[in-house]
Structure 1
Amino acid sequence: MAKVAIVLGPDFEDVEFEQPRTQLAERGHEVVVVGTSTDEELTGKKGEVTFTPDVAVGDVSARDFDALVVPGGYSPDHLRTDEDVVRFVKAFGDLERPIAAICHAGSLLIEAGLVSGRTMTSWPSIRTDLVNAGAAWVDQEVVVDGRLVTSRNPDDLPAFIDAVDHQLQGAGVSA
């Protein structure tokens, strides 16, 4: 069983948070939601899902987890201005642990300095940002580049979740 962090801020894409959280747990992984604090209930941008983070980013380390998932929506843009969150995300890259980002989540990876030289996909509106940060952008439902998994949008969630689970098993961590 792997321990997976999902980093979450306000205005996340509801389904891009809820489906990976639920399905990775159903596959036997321990899923922990990490936020800037545990004092605030966060609401998805569509208002369909609310969630209070399990732990605050200042109380955990990337070393505590086997992988990181970053949902899209506006959450990554909010989180990229928080130095503790950026440091936490960067540490996963430094440790060469799996990082999975969907939709707009690549913006947080840009801030953490993790995209240069990588092949990635995303929501089309951040394509130029990723390219300007040194990534090669492709239009595919899921792209796996080493320990980095990226997808474009909610329609890609089945392939995205499968790729995350495969990364966890490939790391010698299995459900």
Structure 2
Amino acid sequence: MAKVAFLLANGFEDSEMKNPYEAVREAGHETTIIGLEKNVECKGKTGTVYTSELAATDVKATDFDAVIIPGGGAPEALRVNDDIVRFVREVNAQSKLIAGICHGPQVMISANVLDGKQATCYIGIRDDVKLAGADFKDEEVVVSENIITSRTPKDEPAFIREILVKLS
């Protein structure tokens, strides 16, 4: 059983949180929602609400086996938080799974973990991913060492499949 962190803030893409979160839990893994603060409601773009269980200041990479970053507007708020960036950087340094869909790779960009990797993302941040040193691929899911990325909600089945493969 893996311990999986979900990074969340207001404005996340509802299905990109809900579907991977439920799939990871159903597969028997332990999930923790990490936000900018502890015990704060995070509201999705279409009204789904999750409550953060831990604040970014309280987490260490050694406590988790994987990190998943849903897209939408949340990654923009997460990427400017030094503790979130530190956490993702530390997870990467330990070669643990980091998965981001849609705008999720924005957090990876700020943590400087995409250089030399292959990645995909929402088309609007494609140039940012390239400038971060990644080889951009316009594919439903890209697995590059410990990094998994996908583009949009329609790619969720492939995104979830690859996450569950890495966690098994």
TM (normalized to structure 1)?
0.94
Cα offsets for 1:6-31 (capped at 9, x unmatched): 01111011110111111110011111
1:39, distance to aligned residue in structure 2 (A): 3.8
Task: Tell me the distance in 1 between the aligned counterparts of 2:132 and 2:55.
Answer: 28
1:105, distance to aligned residue in structure 2 (A): 0.7
* Paired amino acid for 1:33: I
Q: Helix, strand or coil for the counterpart of 1:104? A: coil
1:46, distance to aligned residue in structure 2 (A): 1.9
Cα offsets for 1:89-110 (capped at 9, x unmatched): 1111111101101000111100
Q: Helix, strand or coil for the counterpart of 2:104? A: helix
Match of 1:85 in 2: 84
Match of 1:8 in 2: 8
Task: Tell me the distance in 1 between the aligned counterparts of 2:19 and 2:78.
Answer: 20
| 4+ runs deviating over 2 angstroms | none
Kindly report the root-mean-square deviation, in angstroms, between the aligned alpha carbons of the 2 structures.
Answer: 0.8
Q: Is the 8 A contact 2:8 2:33 kept in 1?
A: yes
Unaligned runs of 5+ in 1: 170-175
Match of 2:56 in 1: 57
1:40, distance to aligned residue in structure 2 (A): 2.1
Unaligned runs of 5+ in 2: none
Task: Tell me the distance in 2 between the aligned counterparts of 1:40 and 1:60.
Answer: 16
1:51, distance to aligned residue in structure 2 (A): 1.0
Q: Give the 5 Å matches for 1:1-80.
A: 1-47=1-47, 49-80=48-79
Q: Is the aligned partner of 1:98 residue 2:97? A: yes
1:45, distance to aligned residue in structure 2 (A): 1.5
